[in-house]
Amino acid sequence: MALLEINGLGKTYGEGDGATHAIGDVSFSLDEREFVCVVGPSGCGKTTLLKCMSGLLEPTRGDVLLRGERVEGPPEAMALVFQEYSRSLLPWMSVRGNVVMPLRHKKLEKAEAARLVEEAVDAVGLTEFIDRYPWQLSGGMQQRVAIARALAYQPEILLMDEPFASVDAQTRGDLEDLILEVRDRYDMTILFVTHDIDESVYLSDRIVVLSPSPTEVREILDVPLPAPRDQVETKELPEFAHLRAHVYRLIKRRREAAEST
Partner 1 sequence: MRPRTRRIAELAVEIAVPAAIVAVLFAWTAGKPTFYFPPLSDVFDRFANTWVFERFGSDAWPSLRRMGLGYAIAVLIAIAAGTALGSSATLRRATAPVVEFLRSIPPPALIPFAIVVIGIGDDMKVFIIAFVCLWPVLLNTIDGINGIDPTLRDTARVYGISGRDRLMRITLPAASPQIFAGMRLSLSLALILMVISEMVASTNGIGFFVLQSQRSFAIPEMWSGILLLGILGYLFNLAFMIIERRVLAWHRGARASSLG
Q: Are 148 and 131 in contact (CB under 8 A)?
A: no
Is the CB of 90 or the CB of 227 nearer to partner 1? 90
Q: Please report how close the Cβ of residue 174 comes to partner 1 at its closest, in angstroms.
A: 21
> Considering the complex, what minimum distance in angstroms separates the CB of residue 78 from partner 1?
7
Q: Tell me if the bond preceding 228 is cis, omega within 30° of 0.
A: yes
Q: 188 vs 197, which CB is nearer to partner 1?
A: 188
Q: In angstroms, what is the minimal distance from the CB of 68 to partner 1? A: 21
Q: Which residues bind partner 1 (CB under 8 A)?
A: 51, 54, 56, 73-74, 76, 78-80, 82, 84, 86-88, 90-93, 101-102, 104-105, 133-136, 149, 153
d(CA 238, CA 143): 32
Whole-number Å distance between alpha carbons of 64 and 77: 13
- Ramachandran class of 16: left when φ > 0, alpha when ψ lies in -120 to 50, beta otherwise: left
Q: How far is the CB of 53 from partner 1 (least distance, A)?
A: 11
Q: How far is the CB of 55 from partner 1 (least distance, A)?
A: 8
Could you give the C-alpha distances from 151 to 28, 48, 98, 120, in angstroms and in order?
A: 24, 23, 12, 6
Which residue number, 116 or 223, has a Cβ lying nearer to partner 1?
116
Bridge partners (DSSP) of residue 23 are 11, 215
When the beta carbons of 142 and 211 are compared against partner 1, the nearer one is 142
Q: How far is Cα 163 from Cα 154, in angstroms, rounded to an integer?
A: 18
Pairing of strands 61-66, 206-210: unpaired
Nearer to partner 1, 56 or 245 (CB): 56
